[in-house]
Amino acid sequence: MRLLFLGDMVGKTGRTAVWNRLPGLISDLKLDFVVVNGENAAGGFGITEDIFLETINAGADVVTTGNHVWDQKEAVAFAGRHDQFLRPANYPQGTPGRGSGLFYARNGARVLVANVMGRVFMHPELDDPFKSAEAILDACPLKEQADAIIFDFHAEATSEKQCFGHFVDGRASFVVGTHTHVPTADHQILNGGTAYLSDAGMCGDYDSSLGMDKEEPLNRFISKMPKGRMEAATGPATICGVGVEISDATGLAEKIAPLRLGPRLAETIPEFWR
């Protein structure tokens, strides 16, 4: 199975780049399943229902989120209406929406996608992500109820991300970190066969501070005083993500490589998809 994961869409420039490029990527690369993190898609803060639906219409099978999931008030209302919209699974019981779901890929495979949020340097501090992941895996084990299992681990600390990857190694197909908006170079297949990447990066303008116009965050670092609102940068976007090939026989990863398309970072498409 060919899986593509795209990192956090930031603002209009990021989401538009994904909407424009994703249909062609699905066709050209013969992708079976696509997950996109959309938590910063609405001006850099949260996501609206219209943006979610447009991302699904562009070809995403699931949209994940993170700590900014409720920044747009309407998300509380629409989260429960769409199975393909995921918020972190370790929110307390009774939180609107869902944190995981079983979906069907284009090749007919059953794909479990789970969105879990870390706790180190993160706000709000949610329930234990490791216990949450254990419960998800117990309810839908790999190669029993699911042919592939994907975790979007939305977290700040790379140590927590790496430990989470080792925790589910051999029981999940792929663990990808989101939240920091900076793509890492540690894509690998862990000893048990789980593909891993500490952070997929963002889909947004890299002439920025994490996708936001750089003037205000720079001012705050220098003066310690806000001058105005943080605004999403509006320059040309680079799409950042990662491609994974998953064995139909075992549900574990066989190949992993970054995908980057745009003006700022060196462009790359996984060699095994060329």
| Active-site residue identified among 68, 82, 166, 187 | 68
Any binding-site annotation on 123? Answer: no
- What pLDDT score does 66 carry? 98
Any binding-site annotation on 115? Answer: no
CB 216 within 8 A of CB 227: yes
DSSP state of 266: P
177-228, pLDDT tens digit by residue? 999 999 999 999 999 999 999 999 999 999 999 999 999 999 999 999 999 9
- Tell me, yes or no, if 68 is annotated catalytic: yes
- Which CATH superfamily hosts domain 2-206+238-273? Metallo-dependent phosphatases (3.60.21.10)
- What pLDDT score does 237 carry? 98
Any binding-site annotation on 179? Answer: yes
- Please, what is the average pLDDT of the chain? 98
pLDDT surpasses 90 at 241: yes
21-56, pLDDT tens digit by residue? 999 999 999 999 999 999 999 999 999 999 999 999
pLDDT surpasses 90 at 274: no
Any binding-site annotation on 67? Answer: yes
Q: At what angle do helices 158-168 and 129-139 cross, to 10 degrees?
A: 30
- Tell me the mean pLDDT in the region 63-88: 98
Cα separation, 89 vs 135, in Å, equals 10
- Tell me the mean pLDDT in the region 74-80: 97
Single-letter code of the amino acid located at 194: T
Any binding-site annotation on 39? Answer: yes
Please give the C-alpha separations between residue 1 and each of 26, 78, 101, 218, 254, in angstroms, as whole numbers. 13, 30, 18, 43, 10
250, two tokens:
């075992």
Report the predicted TM-score, pTM, of the whole model to 2 decimal places: 0.98
Any binding-site annotation on 154? Answer: yes
- Tell me the mean pLDDT in the region 98-121: 98
- What pLDDT score does 138 carry? 98
DSSP SS3 for 80: helix
